[in-house]
């Protein structure tokens, strides 16, 4: 697989990715759409053998995530593969791309939520980020929003990528559920960094009016 990926690699894209992603895995420089197409090919072959192979590159890891997300297996069996995979993640790009690929969540929201709740005890920052990003991508509806807010308050970790994920989740929630998110921001127990980053991300959104952005400037905590 590595040899195939090396043929598809682009030096300029490699340099671009290396500036954005800090990882222990070697970055070759293969674009995401190309990796998604490769994953489709792998799913039609011996995909389990591919998953079991040791991986040293960022692209191989991305492929593994795409395969796990798309292969046709029972949902409970998929959770076994998901849990093993997310514990190998060491960067935001692998995490977030994997989450966006797990469209199966729309079919099994309760089962996925139950699975996410089994991971809450983990201290691995990218397992926690996985939980948060899954919630912001699939669980900001009326049915789930209260539970999402409750869980966001319970996740306590000093890692930058965990805190930024919480801020991101709050900003998306504000766009989708403004009044409920306003109440959450006014009552939630959030550290100053996460609170201010959430406000910043809300103000950066094109979907938020200028008046609201001006109002949120006044919410800044003063020490």
CB-based contacts of 107-110 (< 8 A; 24+ apart in sequence): 108/75, 109/138, 109/139, 109/144
Q: Alpha-carbon distance 161 to 196, whole Å? A: 15
Q: Which of 28-32, 108-112, 125-129, 189-193 shows the lowest per-residue confidence on average (mean pLDDT)?
A: 189-193
Residue 222 pLDDT greater than 80, yes or no: no
> How high is the pLDDT of residue 144?
97
For residues 118-135, give the mean pLDDT. Answer: 96
Name the strand (E) or helix (H) holding 215. Answer: helix 210-217
Q: What are phi and psi of 57, to 5 degrees?
A: -115, 150
Q: Residue 221: which pLDDT band, with cuts at 50, 70 and 90?
A: confident
Helix (H) or strand (E) holding 24: none
Going from the C-alpha of 28 to that of each of 11, 43, 72, 92, 98, the distances in angstroms are 8, 22, 28, 17, 18
Q: Please name which of 94, 151, 103 lies closest in space to residue 126, comparing C-alpha atoms.
A: 94
Spatial contact of 155 and 133, defined as CB atoms under 8 Å apart? no
Does residue 68 carry a pLDDT above 70? Answer: yes
pLDDT at 223: 66
What Rg, from alpha-carbon coordinates, does the chain have? 19
Q: Is the pLDDT of residue 170 over 70?
A: yes
pLDDT band, very low/low/confident/very high, at 2 (cuts 50, 70, 90)? confident
Domain regions of the chain by residue span: 104-223
Distance separating alpha carbons of residues 169 and 159, to the nearest angstrom: 16
pLDDT over threshold 90, residue 69? yes
27-46: per-residue pLDDT in tens?
Answer: 999 999 999 999 999 999 99
**Whole-Å CA distances, 155 to 49, 132, 193:** 35, 9, 14
pLDDT at 1: 85
For residues 205 and 171, the answer to whether their CB atoms sit within 8 Å is yes
Q: What is the pLDDT of residue 220?
A: 87
User: Average pLDDT of the chain?
Assistant: 95
Average pLDDT over residues 104-118: 97
Q: What pLDDT, in 10s, does the model give residues 174-215?
A: 999 999 999 999 998 899 999 999 999 999 999 999 999 999
Report the C-alpha gap between 136 and 47 in whole angstroms: 29
């Amino acid at each position: 697989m590595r040899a195939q990926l090396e043929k598809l690699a682009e030096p300029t894209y490699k340099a671009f990715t290396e500036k954005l992603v800090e990882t222990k895995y070697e970055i070759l420089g293969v674009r995401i759409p190309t990796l998604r197409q490769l994953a489709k090919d792998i799913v039609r072959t011996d995909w389990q053998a591919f998953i079991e192979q040791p991986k040293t590159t960022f692209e191989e890891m991305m492929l593994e995530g795409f395969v796990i997300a798309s292969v046709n297996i029972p949902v409970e069996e998929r959770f076994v593969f998901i849990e093993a995979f997310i514990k190998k993640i060491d960067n935001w790009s692998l995490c977030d791309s994997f989450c966006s690929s797990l469209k199966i969540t729309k079919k099994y929201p309760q089962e996925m939520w139950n699975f996410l709740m089994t991971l809450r005890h983990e201290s691995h920052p990218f397992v926690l980020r996985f939980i948060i990003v899954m919630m912001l991508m699939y669980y900001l509806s009326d049915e789930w929003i209260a539970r999402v807010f409750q869980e966001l308050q319970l996740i306590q970790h000093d890692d930058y990528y965990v805190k930024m994920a919480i801020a991101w989740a709050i900003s998306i929630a504000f766009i989708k559920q403004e009044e409920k998110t306003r109440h959450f921001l006014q009552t939630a127990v959030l550290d100053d960094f996460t609170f201010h980053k959430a406000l910043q991300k809300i103000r950066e959104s094109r979907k938020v009016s200028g008046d609201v952005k001006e109002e949120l400037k006044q919410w800044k905590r003063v020490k």
